[in-house]
Amino acid sequence: MTTTSAATTASAPRPHATLAPLGDGAVSWAGGFWGEVARRCRETTVPSIWGSLSDPAVSPGWRNFLVAAGREEGVHEGPPFLDGDLYKWLEAAVSLLATGPDADLERVVEEVVEVVAEIQREDGYLHTPTLIAARNAQAVEALADRFHFETYNLGHLITAGVVHHRVTGRRTLLRVARRAAGFLEHLAADDPDGLARSAICPSHYMAVVELYRATGEDRWLRLAESFVRVRDDFSGGDDNQDRVPIREQQVVAGHAVRANYLYAGLADLVIETGDEQLRRVLERLWRDVVDTKLYLTGGCGALYDGASPDAFPEQGEISRVHQAYGRPYQLPSTTAHNESCANIGMMLWSRRMLELTGEPRYADVVEQVVCNSLLASIGLDAESYLYTNPLRQVRGLPFPLRRPGDTALHPVPAPPPSDERLRQRYLSVFCCPPNIARTLAQLHGYVASVSPAGVAVHLYGDADIRAVLPDGDGLELRLRSRFPWEEGAELDVEAVHGAGLPVRLRIPAWCTGATVSVDGVAVEDVRAGREVVLERDWRPGTRIRVGLPMPVRVQRSHRLAEEIQNQVAVTRGPLVYCLESTDLPPGVRLEQVALRRDVRLTPVAEEVAGHPVVTLHGEGVLLPLPGDDALYTDVEQDALGRVQLRLVPYFTWGNRGPSEMSVWLPVVW
């Protein structure tokens, strides 16, 4: 396999960015917590997803492509956006090839690329439901239904083509990507309403900007700009963020995946064009989410279904919402939707804002999502997944919560009882698992960025970093940390290239009392939520030590977050903790447990489901158990008791069988 220049920053133009990502292979995990996550992704996650997609008894994902190519007979099966799931898996697989050879995986990748290229229409259109219908002499119109997700699929195809070319140097899938972008270009010119109507979960914004970076062809940047014009001229609704022109949007509303993908793509556009007005809009919208609508776990999109809170005032024009952002502080726990793709979308948006501005607050949110909702969305077995990510799981819920596939078009069996909401290996709506896989396969790319102002370290773990600018200046750093379990990290300067570069260290916003030293000499003015900039005449062997205290914190919510009033949550470092019924004494119910305001919780190194973690042990308050399930009842006069508690990291919940769980617990003042 041929790889492109992996040791330098990306050569693509980013004229208005403060930071540039490092090239493929410039950062690699060297063990530790994140190295283990990456190992499981390589050895289990990516192979098992392919096993599902390629097995017709499990999923029609791959078979649809074979039928479209005429290699098998049949009709299209599964949801219309299933093509995009294969493209996301392909991106994950190629990303693994960038960090280590795998002949068997490469063979499968090239087989998929061959078939995808074979079935693409001359005009660049590619959607297996339509292509299969045409092969079977059925009349099916492209873009006939916005919920066929054709532009979403094409966006993921284009992105996969760019990544495939960047990693392998081959052009087959890049040619497919260019033709697919050409089809979108045709729509923008000749059918703008059709394009705008179909632009849901708009992965194509990010995709065509990446294509511009890969090819240097200005037409693709102009295409991204046309997407904005087309959207602004279209009269839509809040669910798809197209009721109000983009530059007039004051708050984030509607479907959370669509919102986060849209704003990530717009951030890419600002990075390339320097549109200052659009930048201010994105900063305002990002703050709206982080300040009023983001779960403690980094989850996004609280609402299952309903009416838009901010749509047209006349009843007939109210826009529906689904897995959507709601009102400020509307953050239910049991019914929290928090689709895994939405949480990943927040990472995509925040990373681009980080590159645009260089401000560490964006890396804080990336870390918040990664360490909690992202890791929770995949089981410790590395091959089972959650579509929704609640903050509370209870027994006996008197109504079923929707799960992927519960629609009139694609019915699936009734969901399991609410107290058995477990991760599943295959979901009838399979968008999240391959999205999780590609995110984990590319996670090393979030560790650090570079610019002439220095090497910026964003995330801590065991990683080797090679940051060399095109002019030859740079550093090679050896980063070692037992993060997120133990405090601190060490960076050793392994090599200096040219004049070297400053080292910029993010001090997480959750970390007060952090320290930094260089070869034992303390650095002044180290503050939480800021960067420490180290400018030195570096020499190989220089050691930087970063102390990151992780005291247990007991946190409460804003007064308007109604459902969690008079409750508290526990965090340690970047990790959110929860109480799982699995760890309660016999006869004690989840709803009986409360915490004292001054509770003392001790970190303990142990295992959950066979995986090493740090749990928190301490004493809780045992409330009386209500005698019945009446809607209202008198307060019991029984004395409060004591109960020994074991809190586990949120991302580990549900790995030991059915259970109840809660992040937020009542507080006794």
Task: Give domain status of residue 216, yes or no.
Answer: no
pLDDT at residue 1 is higher than 60: no
Answer yes or no: do 527 and 571 share one domain. no
120: Cβ–Cβ under 8 A, 6 or more apart, which residues?
126, 176, 179, 180
Residue 478: give the domain boundaries: 453-547
Task: Please name the helix (run of DSSP H) or strand (run of DSSP E) that holds residue 321, with its range, or none.
Answer: strand 320-325
CATH value at residue 470: 2.60.40
Residue 486: inside a domain, yes or no?
A: yes
Residue 658 lies in a domain: yes
In the predicted model, is pLDDT for residue 657 greater than 90?
A: yes
Cβ distance 167 to 219 under 8 Å?
no
Is residue 646 situated within a structural domain? Answer: yes
Q: What mean pLDDT value characterizes the chain?
A: 93
pLDDT band at 626 (very low <50, low <70, confident <90, very high): confident
pLDDT for res 416: 47
In contact, 456 and 478? CB cutoff 8 Å = no
**Whether residue 495 is found in the same domain as residue 579:** no
Q: Is the pLDDT of residue 323 over 80?
A: yes
- 648 occurs within a structural domain: yes
Give the C-alpha separation, 180 to 121, whole Å: 9
The token duo for 138 is: 């059925």
Q: What is the pLDDT of residue 468?
A: 96
Residue 89 lies in a domain: no
Q: What percent of the chain has pLDDT over 70?
A: 94
Domain boundary among 517, 547, 577: 547
Q: How many CB atoms within 10 Å of residue 493? A: 20
Kind plus residue range of the DSSP H or E element containing 478: strand 474-480
pTM of the entire predicted model: 0.95
**Per-residue pLDDT tens digits for 568-578:** 999 999 999 99
d(Cα 476, Cα 495) in Å, to the nearest integer? Answer: 5
- Examine the pLDDT at 82 and tell me if it is beyond 80: yes
Residue 429 — φ and ψ, nearest 5°? -105, 105
Residues 428-462: tens digit of each pLDDT? 899 999 999 999 999 999 999 999 999 999 999 99
Distant-in-sequence, close-in-space partners of 384: CB < 8 Å, separation ≥ 6: 378, 422, 423, 424, 425
Residue 607 lies in a domain: yes
Q: Give residue 311's pLDDT band: very low, low, confident or very high (50, 70, 90).
A: low
Region of poorest pLDDT, from 234-248, 333-347, 488-502: 234-248
pLDDT for 309 equals: 65
**349 near 301, Cβ under 8 Å?**
no
575 shares its domain with 636: yes
Amino acid at 43: E
The burial of 630, by beta-carbon neighbours within 10 Å (0-12 exposed, 13-18 middle, 19 or more buried), is given as exposed
Per the structure, how many domains does the chain have?
2
Query: Does 403 score more than 90 pLDDT?
Result: no
Q: How far from the centroid of its chain's Cα atoms is residue 538's Cα?
A: 35
Closest CA to 580 of 654, 474, 514, 638: 654
From residue 293, alpha-carbon distances to 261, 335, 649 in Å are: 16, 15, 22
pLDDT band at 12 (very low <50, low <70, confident <90, very high): low
pLDDT of residue 103: 97
Domain stops at, among 521, 547, 573: 547
Token duo for residue 276: 């200052």
